[in-house]
Chains A and B, each alone.
Chain A
Amino acid sequence: DTGVSQDPRHKITKRGQNVTFRCDPISEHNRLYWYRQTLGQGPEFLTYFQNEAQLEKSRLLSDRFSAERPKGSFSTLEIQRTEQGDSAMYLCASSSPDDAGNTIYFGEGSWLTVV
């Protein structure tokens, strides 16, 4: 198992464009999380899925943001009409309810720069 995989690792886009990030969780992990992290700050929760169901969304997730996990495996995070304030690292993470320690494992992140 190669861990949580995210793609692309870096994305530069012009303001107003749409961007999509993909996350492949660790195999058999049924929970998947999206976080946003800006420089010098701790990650902020955006949303999470259990299987294909989106169970919780943060107030940070404006109408321009949408996340999906159609088959309960990989997930996508789309940002429409990007703004400069969207520039951040988008982190994906996954966990299994069978993990006795309830540990959440993170991917390497997708860095977005909006110019």
Chain B
Amino acid sequence: AQTVTQSQPEMSVQEAETVTLSCTYDTSESDYYLFWYKQPPSRQMILVIRQEAYKQQNATENRFSVNFQKAAKSFSLKISDSQLGDAAMYFCAYRRIGNMLTFGGGTRLMVKP
């Protein structure tokens, strides 16, 4: 079974600074997808960024980028120029092709003004 681990229950960042959230996963598959979802206090899960395992290039979406290390099974999220609206729970998730998502336990990100 696949497992996803987020070792940081809480993180804090100063507004406009950069923060990195960690995620590791365990799988025997070679082809899969990885995601970061954001869940603000309103509780709707919103996709932040995704990475296909077959791609070596790290995904980037505006201020959000990932560091995907396939051999190490590591998938960290970097948020640059942090904004107050970035405060939320962040979940790392793994998905085998055509299958369901497996989530990590989440990291609560606080942004200080």
When the two chains form their complex, are residues B43 and A42 in contact, meaning their CB atoms are under 8 A apart? no
Q: Are B91 and A42 in contact (CB under 8 A)?
A: yes
Q: Does A97 contact B (CB under 8 A)?
A: yes
Contacting pair B103 A97 (CB below 8 A): no
A105 CA / B37 CA spacing, docked (Å): 10
**Chain A residues with a Cβ closer than 8 Å to the other chain, count:** 23
Chain B, interface size: which category?
20 to 34
Asked whether B44 lies within 8 Å of A56 as measured between CB atoms, the reply is no
CB nearest to A48 among chain B residues: B100
Nearest Cβ in chain A — how far from B94, in angstroms? 11
Q: Which residues of A contact B45 (CB under 8 A)?
A: 43, 91, 93, 106
B106 touches A41 (CB 8 A): yes
Residues of A within 8 A of B42 (CB): 108
Residue numbers in B under 8 Å from A109 (CB-CB): 43-44
A6's nearest neighbour on chain B, judged by CB, is: B44
* Interface set of A (CB-CB < 8 Å, partner B): 33, 35, 40-45, 48, 56, 89, 91, 93, 97, 101-109
Say whether A102 contacts B97, CB under 8 Å. yes
Residue of A nearest to B104 (CB): A42
Q: A42-B106, A43-B91 are in contact. Are A105 and B47 (CB under 8 A)?
A: yes
B107 to chain A, nearest CB (A): 10
Chain B residues within an 8 Å CB radius of A89: 43
Partner of B106, one of A33, A35, A40, A101: A40
Q: Is the CB of B50 within 8 A of A101?
A: yes
Given contacts A107-B44, A109-B43, contact A42 B100 (CB under 8 A): no
